[in-house]
Chains A and B, each alone.
Chain A
Amino acid sequence: MEAVRLRELFSTFLRIGIFTFGGGFAMIPLIEREIIEKRGWIAQKEFIDLLTIAQSAPGPIALNTAVFIGYKSRGYKGAFAALFGVVLPSFTILLLVALYFTQIRDNKIVEAAFKGMRPAVIALIMAPVISLLRPMKPLHIALATVAAVALWYFAFSPIYLLLASAIVGLVWAYFTSKNSAR
């Protein structure tokens, strides 16, 4: 794969930054589309690993994702370019709002647009769940369902869930490597 240009990295994340409405998860469908399907900077296979890392590390998911992809493609410079791209729209818009449009929340048109966007954003967040589950084994699908119910219905803390599954993976690795050594 030829080296990704820094400018392209920046502008792609700028696009993503402009359209990430409704929190970090809303970025997932955009990443899938812009980075994986259109540009192929990371493989579909790596997508889930990227999400795992972005969610396990501290900090906003959107930033973590940008740094991961940026660093993987172009090292430190890439990480900066991607991060800068994803932060810039947010920064500029909020600064403009703080300066001139403190009444934005009373704006009827913006409010109406958001009433339409919110359900669509949820659908956009949900759709990748399907595409991620599709190649998985039934056991994994069952585990994902259990995890979703634990988090959503029983308000289980995501940090503990991630920690617990990492530990399970570690123990599992320990035993499999022991067996193969014998």
Chain B
Amino acid sequence: MIYLELFISYLKIGFFGFGGGYSMLSLIHHEVVVSHEWISSAALSDIIAISQMTPGPIAINSATYIGYTIAGFWGSVIATIAVCLPSLSIMVIITRFFLKLRNSNYMECIMTAMRPSVIGMIAAASMLLIFPEEKQGASMIDAWSWMLFAAAFVASLRKVSPIKLIVLSAIAGIAIYYIPEVIAPKDETGTTESATSTTLWRGFDITQSEVIESDTFEQAWVDYLYLLQHREPSTAAYELKTTLEIADSSPEAALALFDLCEKYLYNPNSPIRHDELFIPSLEVILDSPKVDSLLKIRPTAMLQTVKLNRVGAVANDFKIVGTNRTMHQVEAPYTLLYFYDPECSDCKRVSAIINRSETLQELEIDNHVAIIKILATENNELDSLYDLKALPTLYLLDDSKRVLLKDATIESIIESLKQVSTK
């Protein structure tokens, strides 16, 4: 029963979440994403972003929002009560205990010893907010941030009310960062212009979802996607985006076209799958004002995954199981990453090729290429670092661990290694 599960999960989060909001996040993540699979990791980061935009403790915010998302109004009530209960009961006991014992020598000594640590915790929390580990959602974004920070700090020491300061800083934020969308109407007329001049794409009216769902269109679209891949990447992405934006005048058509893009550019079984071209299709859907935001949750998650380890970017580092080295510490002019699952039949085929290929063996003996085989099924943390929607997945990296080939076939990797080694 969902209510009971929700209750128990949030009871756990409330009970074991020490040290406040952000340290609770990993616990929340574990409960709602990993063990119950109520929502995806990307949806959770959406909720965190929303929590940061609303007042109140993040634990309550996530309880209300997630509770509502998965079990409606009563779900949100139950999750919120559950997350409060441990605090309420434990704090009442501790407070009673403290009020009784506070004049004892023991309590006095313990408190005296703990005080500096607690102040240190608050100081550390503010330092972490100034210099966060992840750039995403950073607080200090420019010189204005520092000015606001300094002003608020001085004002706060001078005993200006915090509520007043929060309201004033919000107003300052709007004054500094909010750019009224004067560009928007111009942009809109731009697109409507091109829309009136041509809602036709190769004779198809792609603002009509029925047209997009027809077989003849699908065939033409696949041919088009295939041809685009042989163009210069940035031109191809731009052209695809322009075409998709025509369909964007109707949300149904935009979504139907997006489904086709997903089917051929993203689906692991598609022979023409292509992350770099899928990115513009995701961006068009996510930017579309007409598409319902709930329908954007999945594309948001996809965009995050697709943007991992793009060609030309440094591949994410990870610890190599069974050694104490990380992938970046392996030195070689080329690195082949091979994520596999011993059970899958295609992995067996690829493993056999890797083991038998003379080119690969020679290159490995000459220390020209390092082959790193990763058992993807054992290593859950890889899921957030690499897009492993299907196995096997292969990457070819250069000497500075930049991605040369992403999610490539073993044949194409051997082929390109052959070319560079003969040079």
- A169 in contact with B109 given A58-B17, A115-B176, A147-B117 (CB within 8 Å): yes
Evaluate contact between A173 and B109: CB separation under 8 angstroms.
yes
CA distance A78 to B15 in the complex (A): 21
B88 with A67: CB separation less than 8 A? yes
**Residues of chain B with a CB closer than 8 A to A166's CB:** 110, 113-114
A residues in contact with B181, CB < 8 Å: 108
Q: In the complex, are the beta carbons of A144 and B116 less than 8 A apart? A: yes
**Which residues 63-88 in B have Cβ within 8 Å of A in the complex?**
64-65, 68-69, 73, 76, 80, 83-84, 86-88
**How many angstroms between the C-alpha atoms of A151 and B17 in the bound complex?**
17
Give residues 94-111 of A contacting B (CB, 8 Å).
94-95, 97-99, 102-106, 108-111
Interface residue stretch chosen among B100-108, B250-258, B318-326, B360-368: B100-108
Contact of A122 with B by CB under 8 A: yes
| Chain B window 97-141, contacts with chain A (Cβ cutoff 8 Å), 1 for yes, 0 for no | 011001001101111111111111111111111100000000111
Q: Taking the nearest CB of chain A, how far is it from the CB of B45, in angstroms?
A: 10
- Bound state CA distance, A173 and B101, in angstroms? 13
A90-B60, A166-B114 known; A143 vs B55 contact (CB < 8 Å): no
A113 at the interface (CB under 8 A from B): yes
Query: Contact: B161 with A33, CB < 8 Å?
Result: yes
State how many angstroms separate the Cβ of B22 from the closest Cβ of chain A.
Answer: 6
Query: Which residues of A are found within 8 Å of B169, using beta-carbon distances?
Result: 116-117, 119-121
Interface size on A, residues (CB 8 A): 110
Contacts of A124 in B (CB 8 A): 152, 156, 162, 165-166
- Shortest Cβ distance from B119 into A: residue: A144
When the two chains form their complex, are residues B56 and A116 in contact, meaning their CB atoms are under 8 A apart?
Answer: no
The stretch that binds A, out of B142-150, B267-275, B371-379, is: B142-150
Q: Say yes or no: A23-B64 contact (C-beta < 8 A), given A114-B53, A116-B170, A143-B117.
A: no
B-chain residues with CB within 8 Å of residue A51 when the two chains form the complex: 118, 122
Mark out the residues of chain B between 23 and 76 whose CB falls within 8 Å of any chain A CB in the assembled complex: 23-24, 46, 49-61, 64-65, 68-69, 73, 76
User: Nearest Cβ distance between residue B292 and chain A, in whole angstroms?
Assistant: 9
Cβ-defined contact, B109 with A79, below 8 A: no
CB of A161 closer than 8 Å to a CB of B: yes
The reply to whether A127 and B156 contact each other, CB–CB distance below 8 Å, is: yes
**Residue numbers in A under 8 Å from B156 (CB-CB):** 29, 123-124, 127
Binding site for A on B (CB under 8 A): 14-24, 46, 49-61, 64-65, 68-69, 73, 76, 80, 83-84, 86-88, 90-92, 94-96, 98-99, 102, 105-106, 108-130, 139-141, 144-146, 148-153, 156-157, 159, 161-163, 165-166, 168-179, 181, 293-294
Q: Which 8 residue pairs of A and B lie closest in terms of their CB atoms, listed nearest first?
A: A116-B173, A90-B56, A147-B120, A169-B113, A59-B87, A120-B169, A173-B109, A169-B110
A-B contact pairs, 15 of them (CB 8 A): A48-B115, A49-B115, A59-B91, A83-B88, A89-B56, A90-B57, A95-B76, A104-B54, A114-B53, A116-B172, A122-B149, A130-B157, A144-B120, A173-B106, A177-B106
